[in-house]
Every structure is written in C-alpha cells, then in structure tokens.
Chains A and B, each alone.
Chain A
C-alpha cells in the first residue's frame, strides 16, 4: 500500500524557521511534492524533489532522502501569511510509465503567531 505521514499541527513565531517532516512508504516513487493550501482555497505548488538533496526556492527549501523515505519542508523568516496547511505528496508511476498518481499525506496545519 501507499502511506504518507506528516504531523497534524505545528505552531511557530513570526520571523522564525520551521521544519515540516514527511515520511512515506510507496511503490513506484517518481518524485515528492510540497503544496501549500490556505483555508477554503485550492492547493498550490511549492516545491519538487526527485533526487536526494536540498532544493531551495527563496524562503522555502525542501529536502529528500529516498533511501530513508523522508522529506522535509523548511520555511524561513516566517510571515503571518504562511499560516496554512502544507501537503506532502508522492508521485507514483503505474501502468508502464503512462499512468501516474499523486498520493497525499494528511497535511500539516501551520499557525504562525505574532
């Protein structure tokens, strides 16, 4: 089966750094994605890792270790607008590489406090 775990909730202070962890057990792994979702809105793409290591994008960085089935999203210089849910998703390939699905974790709700 496919399984992805994330903490349910996290709280951090404005200006701080927060790390959101994601662990996964999937077959057909073909990339790990992070999405941000504000309340009442659709998820929007933040970052993507397919190889081990760190990808940096402004205040956001994402790390992947395929051997450990582990990823994290690092948010620096937190702002109030970063209060949202953060979804970890794994893309899995099926049906000889012309089928692909995205399996989502339950999401981590981050609250940024002043």
Chain B
C-alpha cells in the first residue's frame, strides 16, 4: 500500500469556524490532490499541487485554500466552514505520467460534518 495518511479521520465542526485537513505521503510523489466525494457527484477536484509551493484550483475550489511547503505534506483549509462543505474528503498522490501508468493512490479519507 502507498504511504499516504490523512488527519483527522473524522471531524465535527460548527459553521463559520476554520478547519484544516492534513495529507501526508512517504512516497515522494510530485502530485498531490484534494477531492470531495458526495452522493450523486462522484469525486470532485478541489485543489491540486504539482510541486512544492505550486498549486492550482480544481472545479470546486470556492471556500477552500491549500498549501504545500514540503513534498510530503498538503494541507486543505476551509476558511469558514459551511454546511455545504459537509463531505468526505480524499487526498491522492501520483507521479508524472510518462510511459508508465502512475495511477493515483488515495488516502483513507476524512469525514467532515459541519453543523
């Protein structure tokens, strides 16, 4: 199994509070991703990183920010949590495409509830 962990695994927070989710990898992979998964929507990309300090927005980035100061860590921050951000959040890693498949490996997920 790829070395990728997420913390916390479960969190309940109140509307309006900031929340930070952490993704940590031991594979030295270049790319890191944050997704949210909701019933009927599948996995939707929030933000991704293609290197230290290099990040870009995905399709559902409003209300979220990210930071990557080290190869192994990718942080997702909900600046002011809303009930619509209640979801399961997955972090994923991958390497450069090239000639090999370099599929994504997923972390175990974080279940976030905003009350």
Chain A residues with a Cβ under 8 A of chain B:
30-31, 33, 41-45, 48, 50, 87, 89, 91, 93, 95, 97-107
Contacts and interface: CB of A to CB of B under 8 A. Distances in A.
B68 to A, nearest CB: 14
B39 to A, nearest CB: 10
B7 to A, nearest CB: 14
Nearest to A43: B106
Contacts of B92: 102
Given A31-B97, A89-B43, 17 more contacts: A33-B101, A33-B103, A33-B104, A41-B108, A42-B107, A42-B109, A43-B43, A95-B50, A97-B97, A100-B96, A101-B58, A102-B33, A102-B92, A102-B104, A104-B42, A105-B42, A106-B42
Given A33-B103, A87-B42, A42 B50 contact: no
A106 B101 CA distance: 22
Interface of B: 31, 33, 35, 40-45, 48, 50, 56, 58, 90, 92, 94, 96-97, 101, 103-109
Contacts of B108: 41-42
29 contacts: A30-B97, A33-B104, A41-B108, A41-B109, A42-B90, A42-B107, A43-B90, A43-B104, A45-B103, A45-B104, A48-B103, A50-B101, A87-B42, A87-B43, A93-B97, A98-B50, A99-B50, A100-B31, A100-B50, A100-B96, A101-B33, A101-B45, A101-B48, A101-B58, A104-B35, A104-B42, A104-B43, A104-B44, A106-B41
A44 to B, nearest CB: 7
Contacts, number: 60
A77 B31 CA distance: 36
A24 to B, nearest CB: 13
A105 B103 CA distance: 16
B105 A45 contact: yes
Contact of B94 (A43, A102, A103, A106): A102
